[in-house]
């Protein structure tokens, strides 16, 4: 009898510990705020594509297939950066208008 109760406590204890660990992981593994990361990623992507474009021009010439490819990627990265900047400015202005209206009440 003693063996069965010890086994039951052991299995139950392991299940509780595993459940607590999984619950803690799920609690702290939520999606973080992506605002700052989006901006950094856009800047990093634009800088990388710009660097690759200039490298392709130096190695293969301005009219090579690689240079055309990286010119296209560079253009898309800068468009994405402009879109992110525009969204940020709209959000900032909208918050500023709300704060301004709230302060004058």
Q: What sections of 29-64 are H helices per DSSP?
A: 35-60
Domain ranges for the chain? 35-105
Categorize the per-residue pLDDT at 96 as very low, low, confident or very high, splitting at 50, 70 and 90.
Answer: low
Residue 68 Ramachandran class (φ > 0 left, ψ -120 to 50 alpha, else beta): alpha
Q: How far is CA 80 from CA 73, 74, 76, 101, in A?
A: 11, 10, 6, 32
* Residues near 38 by beta carbon (within 8 Å), at least 6 away in sequence: 84
**Could you report the per-residue pLDDT of 13-66, keeping only the tens digit for each?**
777 667 777 776 666 666 555 555 667 888 999 999 999 999 999 999 999 999
- Are 47 and 2 in contact by the 8 Å Cβ rule? The answer is no
């Amino acid at each position: 009898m003693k063996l069965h109760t010890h086994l039951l406590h052991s299995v139950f204890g392991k299940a509780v510990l595993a459940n607590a660990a999984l619950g803690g992981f799920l609690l702290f593994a939520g999606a973080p705020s992506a605002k700052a990361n989006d901006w950094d990623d856009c800047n990093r992507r634009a800088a990388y594509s710009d660097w690759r474009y200039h490298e392709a021009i130096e190695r293969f010439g301005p009219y090579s297939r690689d240079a055309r490819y990286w010119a296209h990627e560079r253009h898309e990265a800068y468009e994405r950066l402009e879109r992110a900047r525009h969204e940020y400015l709209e959000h900032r202005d909208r918050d500023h208008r709300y704060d301004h209206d709230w302060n004058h009440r």
